[in-house]
Amino acid sequence: MFDDDDIKSGKVYLAGAGPGDPKLLTLRAAEAIGASDVIVYDYLVNPQVLAHARRGVELIYAGKRAGQPSISQEEINRLLISHALAGRTVTRLKGGDPFIFGRGGEEALALAQAGIDWEVIPGISSGIAAASYAGIPLTHRDHASSVAFITGHDGAKKRRSVDWSVTAWAADTLVIFMCAETIATIARELILAGRSPLTPIAIIRWGTFEHQEVFTGSLADIAETDSEIAPPAIAVVGDVVSLREKLRWFDHSTFPLRSMEAQAV
């Protein structure tokens, strides 16, 4: 704890680093990184964006990976608060956007309750960018007039988990985050809920990175396969996926879901 006489409250920036391509970092996020004394960053943050930091900055890795030991959310909250109370400028750097499945809302509440000055800096969500880099427009006048963002790894504690019987029809296009290990089960749930087994699906690994991979097929293809795909991955479900064949501008390799083999990290 800090003595009252020593407290000079700093500020915390909850900043989105974007989806992976370091050139998609916003100018405001780059400014925050450059002004910070401490940067607390996640697993999916491209290390190249840390080049905007000044010399001597304290870098703290707080990434979470499924099945591996990691710092708890409560510990991260305490870390942000303690550094701010010590008068430091802190950037909490997250992949994508901090308020879209990034737990930025939880950290903002903790900071607000502690009386810490904070600011949110939106980032380009991986749900939008990964699809764009895969050549998939999430909406299109002829194919989709609505889109829904859904978690495929639901850690709900104070609310109901995702009800796929309802969510299946939440929008024309479904973008499912954090779904590498659950997408086959989700595909079966979507079919049971009435989505056509022939509905196109794309699974995008490492979206916007140079080593991006895209797997395409139908809901039936992924529902029937026992293969697994390693995270990080996002799935896009809907007719717009069929446009990739003509619109893939960034990468030109497509892997069929039926022949999908387990992918290494």
| Domains contained in the chain, number | 2
Q: Select from 105, 121, 137 the last residue of a domain.
A: 121
Statement to judge: residues 102 and 162 lie in one domain: no
Statement to judge: residues 103 and 168 lie in one domain: no
Question: Could you give the residue numbers annotated as active site?
Answer: 42, 64
| Tens digit of each residue's pLDDT (9 = 90 or more) over 139-178 | 999 999 999 999 998 765 556 689 999 999 999 999 999 9
Statement to judge: residues 175 and 201 lie in one domain: yes
Statement to judge: residues 74 and 177 lie in one domain: no
Q: By the 8 A CB rule, do 219 and 233 touch?
A: no
CATH of the domain at 237: 3.30.950.10
Q: Which domain holds residue 77?
A: 4-121
Confidence band for 237, pLDDT divided at 50, 70 and 90: very high
pLDDT at position 11 over 60: yes
**How would you classify residue 95: left for phi > 0, otherwise alpha for psi between -120 and 50, otherwise beta?**
beta
Residue 201 lies in a domain: yes
Q: How does the average pLDDT of the chain come out, rounded?
A: 90
DSSP letter string over 78-96?
Answer: HHHHHHHHTT-EEEEEESB
Find the length of the chain. 265
| Tens digit of each residue's pLDDT (9 = 90 or more) over 97-106 | 999 999 999 9
pLDDT at position 39 over 70: yes
Residue 265 lies in a domain: no
Statement to judge: residues 102 and 158 lie in one domain: no
Secondary structure of residue 33 in the 3-state scheme:
helix
Residue 100 lies in a domain: yes
Residue owning tokens 């710092």: 71
Statement to judge: residues 89 and 163 lie in one domain: no
pTM of the predicted model, to two decimals?
A: 0.89
Q: Select from 121, 152, 178 the last residue of a domain.
A: 121
Statement to judge: residues 102 and 153 lie in one domain: no
Residue 48 lies in a domain: yes
Statement to judge: residues 249 and 160 lie in one domain: yes
Residue 104 lies in a domain: yes
Statement to judge: residues 93 and 133 lie in one domain: no
Q: Select from 121, 148, 164 the last residue of a domain.
A: 121
Helix or strand (DSSP H, E) at 203: strand 200-205
Statement to judge: residues 162 and 45 lie in one domain: no
Statement to judge: residues 89 and 164 lie in one domain: no
**9 is written with which tokens?**
């409250």
**67 is written with which tokens?**
């099945």
Residue 91 lies in a domain: yes
**244 is written with which tokens?**
């990739």
Statement to judge: residues 202 and 99 lie in one domain: no
Phi–psi pair at 112, nearest 5 degrees: -65, -40
